[in-house]
Amino acid sequence: MPINVGHDSAKTRKSLTSGDQTVAYYSIKAAEEAGLGDFSKLPAALKVVLENMLRFEDGKTVTQDDIKAFSEWADKGGKNPREIAYRPARVLMQDFTGVPAVVDLAAMRDGIVALGGKAQQINPLNPVDLVIDHSVMIDEFGNPRAFQMNVDREYERNMERYQFLKWGQGAFNNFRVVPPGTGICHQVNLEYLAQTVWTDTDQNGDEVAYPDTLVGTDSHTTMVNGAAVLGWGVGGIEAEAAMLGQPISMLIPEVVGFELTGKMMEGTTGTDLVLKVVEMLRERGVVNKFVEFYGKGLDNLPLADRATIANMAPEYGATCGFFPIDDETLRYLTQTGRDKDRIALVEAYAKENGMWRDADYAPIYTDTLHLDMGEIVPAISGPKRPQDYIALDRAATEFHKYIEGQRSAKDGSQNAEGRWEAEGGQPEPQEIPGDEGNHKRGYVTGDEAYQMHDGSIVIASITSCTNTSNPYVMIGAGLVARKAAARGLNRKPWVKTSLAPGSQVVSHYLEAAGLQEDLDKIGFNLVGYGCTTCIGNSGPLDPKISKCINDNDLIGVSVLSGNRNFEGRISPDVRANYLASPPLVVAYALVGDMNVDITTASLGKDHDGNDVYLKDIWPTQAEIAELVEATVTREAFQSKYADVFKGDEKWQAVETSEGETYDWPPQSTYVQNPPYFQGMSKDPGSISNIKDARVLALLGDMVTTDHISPAGSFKESTPAGQYLRERQVPVREFNSYGSRRGNHEVMMRGTFANIRIRNEMLDNVEGGYTLGPDGEQMSIFDAAMAHEKNGTPLVIFAGEQYGAGSSRDWAAKGTALLGVKAVIAEDFERIHRSNLVGMGVIPFEFTNGDTRKSLGLTGTESVSIDGLDDIKPQAEVPCKITMEDGTVKEITLKCRIDTAIEIEYVENGGVLNYVLRDLAKSA
C-alpha cells in the first residue's frame, strides 16, 4: 500500500541519485532555502522528526508553523514544546503485547460492522511485523534436550494464541508474523527488518526515500536507535491507532546530548558501560526526552555496544537513545547482510539531508552529559532496579547491606537455621562470607546435599535482546565457559542455568567458534530463542530448591544479562535480581553465591586442587575480537534470515479459521472479544467531573507496569487462578499473565496483582489486596467489582515515577476495566501516562509540594475533582479530599492530558473508540 505524503511541494521535495537508483526525498536544506528556518544545528534525532513534518505537511494536520517550530527550538536553546502530529513508517510488535492488539483490531472489525461500516475499513495502513518471542518458558535446562522440549511445551501452551495470530496474518493487510523459535523482536528488527533509510512508493507512484522510523508495542523498541533508526515503545492502543492512520500526538522533545570520549579498558564490556549510562541518566532525569549520543568515543564503539545502550532507554527513562548515522552504521549494515544498494542509499541520504555524523558534528542540545569510557569498570545493577549501579568489587558488600536491611525491616531475626527433613542428617553449616548474623540458612538433599542461604544464586541466565545481540559479550561468555571447563569448574548444583539467544545467528557463531560445546559443559545449553528469564519466563526451580527457599524464607538471587530486574518479575522464588554481562553471568553460576566477592575470591578448585580466580578465566579483548571477526559473518545473517517468515514444521502445521471477522471461540481462555466497543454509540460522550470516588489503592514510588500488570506466573488462589479453575483449566496449564493478554477476564483479575506490590492502605501486606467497601481486606479485583456494583467511581494515589517500565498497555486497560477514573501521582513515566489517556483514564499530578504522605492519606478518603467538563491540556483543577472523620482538604491537581487531541480521546472513552467513530463517519 503506497504512503500518502502531504503534498508534492517543489519547495522541499527533491531527487537524489545513489548508484543506479534515483529517488525523491524531502530536503531539510531546501526547507531552509524556502525560508522556513535554520535547521543546521538540530541534533540528527530531531532532524528525523523534522523530515516527517516536511513529508506530511498538508496545511492541516501538519503546518508550516510546525516546521518553523524546529528552528525556534534551536534558537531557544533546545526547547519548544509545540504539539506536533508524527507518523512513524512502521510498527513492531511482540506476542505478549501483539495478541491483545490484534484482539482489539478484530473487535474493532465487529464494532465497525455494528456501526454500519465494513470490516475491511479496519486494516493496518503501515507495515506491521509481529515477532513471537515472549512465550517460550524454561521448563527444561542444562541438557541437550532442553531446546526441543521447551519448544514443544510452548506450542502445547499457546496453540490457541498462535491460531489466532495466524488468522490475523491472513485477515489483515500489511501484517506479517515472525514465527516462534526465530528470535527476539528487537534483535530481529536490528539484524534484519530495519533499513536505516526506508523507501516506498507514494500516492503518485514515485519512489520516496525517508528515515526508517517505527513505534513498537514493547518498550525496548529503542534498541534499533543504535542503528540510527528512530523508534520507541508505545502502548498497544497507541500502536493500533498509528497502524490505522492516526498520527501520534507528541510535543517537540528536548534532546539531551550524551558525549562519549575515550575507549573501553581491558576487562570491561558494553554491559558495564550501559549500566553506568543508566545510572547517570536516571540521576539527571530524562523522562519524555530524547537522548542522543555523540563525541569522539563513538569512533571506538561498535554498533553492537550502541544497540545495548539504546536498548535500555526505558531503564534510564528516555523516549529514545539515538546514535547518528556514521561509518560504523554502514559497516554493521554490510555485516548483517543488508542489500548493497540500500547501504549506498543510506550513506548518500544521510550526507545529503544533514544526518551524517562526522568529525565536525556539533549540534545544539537542551542539556549535555559527558562520560570517559576509559573510566568504566566491571559492574552489575540491582537488586530490584536497573539504575542501582554497583561496581563489581562492591557487589558482595552492597548485597550484605541489602540483607541487613531486609532482615531488620522484616522481623529482626538473625542467623536462623532452616528445617532439615531428609534422612541422614544435614551437612556442616557453611561459613557465609560477610555474614554478621543476618543470613538465614536451609538445606537441600538428593544426590548431593548442600546448604542454601540468603544470597544463594538460583538462576543464572544469558537472556534478553539487550546483550545477546552483542557478539562481543556473547563470545566473551563462551570463552569464560571454555576456560572454566578446561580447569574443571562447573556451575553449582543449585543454579538454574540457561542460554536464550535473541536470534539464530548467535547460535551460528557460537557453534562456528566451538563455544556452544563449552557452554553446554557448564549447563548453559540452548533453551530457546526468546525473552525467557528477562520477561519472567524463567520457568520453575527444582521443587526441592523452591521448597527450601520458601520454608526458610531465604532471599534467593538471580543474575541475568537482561534489562529488567523489578520486584516479582524474574521468579516468584527470587527476591534479589541483578543485571550483569553474559561473561559475568557465567562466572556467577560457577560461584553460586552473591555473598562472595567475585573479583578476589576463588571460584573453585581446578583439577589439581588449585584455586581458580576470575582473572584466570576472563578473556582478553584481543581473544574476543579475533573470534568475532572469524565467525560473525555477512553470510551467517543472510542464511539465518532467508526464510524468516516461513517458520518450522510446527508453525506450518498450525490450523486456523478464515474470514474478515474472527469467529470468537466461546470456550477459549486465551482469546475473548473485549467489551471496549460493544454497544458503542456513533457519537462521543463528554468528560465528567469525578464525584465522591473511593480509593482503590494507595501506592508508593517507582510502581512499575510490572507491579500494575505482571507478566509472569500466578497461583490457583489468585482471582485469575480461580477464574481458570472454574473453567476446568488445570494449574499446570495456567501459563502466564503475559500469554493470556488476549482474555480481558484474566487480565482484569491480574491488574495490581504482582506478588510484591504493596498497597499502603494495608500494613505490611504484599500482593494485590485492598480494603473493600465494607472495610475488610480483599483482592483488588473483588473490591473493584463490589464498588462497581455500588456505582462508585475509583481513583488510585501514587508516588514518583508511576508506571515505570514497559509499554504494557494492559497496565492501563486493566486499570480502566476495574472502574478507575483517575490516577493521581507525583509524576508519571511517559508511556504509561499515554496509555492511561488512551484508555480514557485521566492522569493527574500533585502540585504545590503535595504528596500522599504530606496529605496524610490512608485510602479511606473520598475524592472529588472538578473542572473536567471544559478541561484544557495540562490545566490545573481543584480536588476535594474528604477524610474519614469528615474533615476536608482542598488541593490543586495538574491534569496530564497533555494535548488537544488527547482530550478528544478521553471524551470518546479512549483512542481506539475515537478512531472507530471516525472511520464509521467516513463509511
613 burial type by CB count under 10 A (0-12 exposed, 13-18 middle, 19+ buried): middle
Share above pLDDT 90 across residues of the chain, in percent, rounded to a whole number: 79
In a domain, 100, yes or no: no
DSSP H or E run through 249: strand 248-251
What integer pLDDT is reported at residue 424 of this predicted model? Answer: 46
pLDDT at 409: 63
Q: Which residues, in sequence order, are bridge partners of residue 216?
A: 92, 233
CA distance 482 to 91: 40
The parent domain of residue 43 ranges over 13-86
By percentage, how much of the chain surpasses pLDDT 70?
97
- Calpha distance 35→19 (Å, rounded): 31
Residue 435 main-chain phi, psi, to 5 deg: -70, 125
pLDDT band at 6 (very low <50, low <70, confident <90, very high): low
Decide which of 54, 86, 118 is a domain's last residue.
86
Confidence (pLDDT) at 736: 87
- Tell me: do 600 and 695 sit in the same domain: no
H or E segment to which residue 111 belongs: helix 95-114
Which one, of 894, 895, 702, 712, lies nearest residue 803 by Cα?
702
Rounded to whole angstroms, the Cα distance separating 213 from 210 reads 9
Residue 887 included in any domain: yes
Q: Indicate whether 606 and 488 sit together in one domain.
A: yes
From the CB of residue 217, how many other CB atoms can be counted at a distance below 10 Å?
Answer: 30
Q: Please state the φ and ψ torsions of residue 764, each to the nearest 5 degrees.
A: 50, 45
CATH of the domain at 769: 3.20.19.10
Measured CA distances, 584 to 315, 484, 602 (Å): 20, 12, 14
- 146 within some domain: no
Same domain membership, residue 703 and residue 837: yes
Are 555 and 476 members of one domain?
Answer: yes
Confidence of residue 172 (pLDDT cuts 50, 70, 90): very high
The answer to whether position 196 is within a domain reads no
Neighbours of 777 (CB within 10 A): 13
Strand 290-294 relative to strand 255-261, pairing? parallel
Tell the burial category of 187 from Cβ atoms under 10 Å away from its Cβ (0-12, 13-18, 19+): buried
The residues that bridge with 802 in the sheet, in sequence order, are 828
Model confidence at 135, pLDDT cuts 50, 70, 90, reads confident
Longest dimension (CA), the chain: 88
Strand-strand pairing, 820-825 and 842-846:
parallel
Cell 488445570 belongs to residue: 730
Domain assignment present for 332: no
Do residue 555 and residue 697 come from a single domain?
no
**Would 292 be classed as within a structural domain?**
no
- Give the helix/strand (H/E) hosting 696: strand 690-698
Same domain, 614 and 762: no
In this structure, are 695 and 610 located in the same domain? Answer: no
- Positive or negative torsion for Cα 529, 534, 536, 539: positive
Q: What SS3 state is found at 609?
A: coil
Q: Are residues 566 and 447 in the same domain?
A: yes
Residue 216 has pLDDT above 90, yes or no: yes
Q: Are residues 620 and 500 in the same domain?
A: yes
Averaged over 642-649, what is the pLDDT?
91
Prior bond of 253 cis (ω within 30°): no
Q: Domain check: are 453 and 585 in the same one?
A: yes
Q: What's the average model confidence in pLDDT over 540-549?
A: 93
**698 and 786 part of one domain:** yes
Q: For residues 874 and 897, is the Cβ–Cβ distance under 8 A?
A: yes
Question: What is the structure's pLDDT at 137?
Answer: 84
**Segment 778-797, tens digit of pLDDT:** 999 999 999 999 999 999 99
Q: Which of 433-447, 461-475, 638-652, 687-701 has the highest mean pLDDT?
A: 687-701
The conformation of residue 805, written as its DSSP 8-state character, comes to: S
CA distance 156 to 149: 11
Q: How confident is the model at residue 182 (pLDDT cuts 50, 70, 90)?
A: very high
Confidence of residue 923 (pLDDT cuts 50, 70, 90): low
Determine the Cα–Cα distance for residues 441 and 721; give it in Å rounded to an integer. Answer: 32
CB 534 within 8 Å of CB 558: no
* Domain CATH number, residue 509: 3.30.499.10
Q: How far is CA 439 from the centre of its chain?
A: 33
Question: Cell 481513583 maps to which residue?
Answer: 795
Strand partners, 865: 690, 879
* pLDDT 10s digits, 218-273: 889 999 999 999 999 987 788 888 888 889 888 999 999 999 999 999 999 999 99
Please indicate, yes or no, whether residues 629 and 696 belong to a single structural domain of this protein. no
**What is the model's pLDDT at position 421?**
41
How far, rounded to the nearest angstrom, does the alpha carbon of residue 125 sit from its chain's CA centroid? Answer: 25
Q: Provide the pLDDT confidence category of residue 446 given band limits of 50, 70 and 90.
A: confident
Judge whether 95 and 161 are in contact, CB under 8 Å.
Answer: yes
For range 883-892, the mean pLDDT: 97
Which residue in this structure is represented by grid cell 511482540? Answer: 94
pLDDT at 371: 98
Q: Which whole-number Å values give the CA distances from 188 to 94, 219, 503, in the listed order?
A: 11, 15, 7
Location of C-alpha cell 555477512: 634
Most confident of 124-128, 374-378, 410-414, 423-427: 374-378
**What confidence tens digit (pLDDT) does each residue in 548-579 have?**
999 999 999 999 998 888 877 889 899 999 99
Q: CA-CA distance, 66 to 55, in Å (whole number)?
A: 12
pLDDT at 379 over 60: yes
3-state secondary structure 260-317: EECCCCCCCCHHHHHHHHHHHHHHHCCCCCEEEEECHHHHHCCHHHHHHHHHCHHHHC
Number of domains, the chain: 3
Residue 410, pLDDT > 60, answer no
Contact (Cβ atoms closer than 8 angstroms) between residue 767 and residue 694:
no
Residue 488 lies in a domain: yes
pLDDT at 7: 58
Instruction: With respect to residue 698, please indicate whether it lies within any of the assigned structural domains.
Output: yes
DSSP alpha helix (H) spans, 775-866: 780-789, 810-817, 830-838
Cα distance between residue 238 and residue 831, in whole Å: 10
- What pLDDT does residue 672 have? 94
Give which of 209, 217, 164 is closest to 189, Cα–Cα. Answer: 217
Give the pLDDT score at 157: 87
